[in-house]
Amino acid sequence: PLAGTAVAAALVVPYGETGAVAGVLAAGWIVAVTAAFRGMDHADGLAGAVGTVTAFGVAACAAAELMDGIAVPLSVLAAALAGFLLHNWHPARAALGAGGSLFTGFVIASAAVFVRAGQGTGAGAGVLFALTAVVCADAVLVVLARRLARWPLTRGRPDHLGHRLRRLGLAPRAVAVLPGVAALGGVLVGVAVHTGRMSGGAVWWVAAAAAVLVLALVRLPVTPVFRARQRSSSVSPQVTEQLRVRNG
């Protein structure tokens, strides 16, 4: 999946507006966000809630640039994800799976690159991060936690954001709602910076909040007992034999 995503990302980046170096970096960012969205689909409603908010945010940025060709499809994607939440909300009856989550992440990330192309590398990177702050935080949390635990990055483990929030005692629906609200905060900052209503320095507040979240949760232990309980739980269809979603 990563190799195919990398090829697709390399073909969709507008190098004429970004330049060669920034274009390569943009392609790498698309791959990273796409993979991170796949990892987000590990709890009922989580990927759908975050994806809905993020897609609407990118659509708003595109609409501000009069890019109807991007704004309309992103709005449709956001509406589709919101409608899918009716089936993916706890207790879920269906899951996005790898196909749905990879598609969502790729479309959102590539559309965001198109919207910000040619508007400055530094400022563009800040807006892109703010729009996907929760997704990026989950990816960094997983990578950092597995490195500290000497766990292979490619081997699944219940150490994503949703898993850790559940260990703190949050209800399954709260695991989707709270990251969705956090994603909304980052998206509002990203849209405001993109449209010039806020200075680029506001992105640092989003980065600081994401860093605090990662540092607060990275040391939360992932015990064998919890892992066994996660595998044997029948609360969510996302972890049943009929409809299994990998831990990441």
Block mean pLDDT (10 aa), the chain, length 248: 94 94 96 95 93 98 96 97 93 90 97 93 94 97 93 88 92 94 98 96 97 93 53 51 44
> Tokens 């704004």 correspond to what residue?
71
Distance from first CA to last CA of the chain, Å, rounded? Answer: 13
Do 185 and 166 touch, CB atoms closer than 8 A? no
- Position 153 scores a pLDDT of 87
- Position 121 scores a pLDDT of 87
- Position 223 scores a pLDDT of 58
Joined together, the tokens standing for residue 156 give 């699944």
> What residues contact residue 93 under an 8 Å CB cut-off, 6+ apart?
87, 237
Do 13 and 140 touch, CB atoms closer than 8 A? no
> Tokens 């791959």 correspond to what residue?
31
In the chain, domain spans: 2-232
- Position 235 scores a pLDDT of 56
The torsion angle over the Cα atoms of residues 86, 87, 88 and 93, rounded to 10 degrees, is 150
